[in-house]
Amino acid sequence: MSEPQAHRHESGLVTETRGHVRVLTLDRPERRNALSTALQADLVEELLCCAEDPQVRAIVLTGNGPAFCAGFDLKEIRELDQRGGHFRPPMDRPGRSLFEVVSETYIPIVAALTGHAVAGGFELALACDIRIAAPGIKLGLPEAAIGMGANYGSVVLPKRLPMGIALEMLLTGEYVTSEDAERWGLVNRVVPPEEVLPAALALAERIAANAPLSVRRMKETAVKALDLPLATALRLDVGPNPYLSDDRREGIAAHLEKRPPRWTGR
């Protein structure tokens, strides 16, 4: 098997394919992986490409350096202010919201949080499906302290945590640790720093080994059914239908014959 090939975009996004897993690395350590306009655009484009590629069955999102992501690039925003430019709120921009694209990418996304995830970086982690974190890292939304809005976090955090905890985090802007987040179920597990990325990759590979149509169907159903009444949710019928697929026949045959399945994604 050939060695994985990595590609680095000018924005600082590094993409790498490992079998059926696509690894996306934020590589602006000198800016704590801040989400510049260019980096956001490249992330959106890469996620849309992953969704179109039948060979990509899971995604790992991580950051290089001491921070996973410090959020939006405040220096870039300040320079825009100083030029007298027009700043648009997150949902009023020509392109799609990065966090919305992450949450609507129906390929499972595992966030490997090797460092702090704050502000928009925390929102980015929230948009992912599964979070593996190093011990003692800071997580939180300090937007109230700098006059921003945490648009995505204000909507999503109360869906992930009890309202009181979510509102305390939002309204005070204070950080919590990864251990707090694990206790609340916001982080799946906390592992030693050197094991975060390997653990995320192992989990992504385990997901990618399953029937790809089933995995996509389950994620899309779970996301779209979250706020629906049970009877409506059960009848959604969204995403690829695994019940009518060749992989369903292959999966049953492989199980009964006690052999690994050969998925075709059809």
Catalytic residues: 123, 143
* Euclidean distance between CA atoms 213 and 178, whole angstroms: 32
| Four-residue CA torsion sign, 66, 72, 74, 77 | positive
Edge-to-edge strand order for the sheet containing 176-177?
67-69, 116-118, 138-140, 176-177
Orientation angle between helical segments 151-160 and 120-127, nearest 10 degrees:
50
CB of 219 closer than 8 Å to CB of 108: yes
The DSSP element (H or E) to which 92 belongs, if any, is none
* Euclidean distance between CA atoms 113 and 247, whole angstroms: 33
Q: 10 Å Cβ neighbour count for 225? A: 16
* Euclidean distance between CA atoms 49 and 105, whole angstroms: 10
Per-residue tokens: 56? 């990509």
* Euclidean distance between CA atoms 135 and 150, whole angstroms: 24
For the chain, the 3-state helix, strand and coil shares in percent, each to the nearest 5, are 45, 15, 35
Tokens 């996301």, located at residue? 223
CB of 41 closer than 8 Å to CB of 35: no
- Within 8 A by CB and 6+ apart from 157, the residues are 126, 141, 166, 169, 170
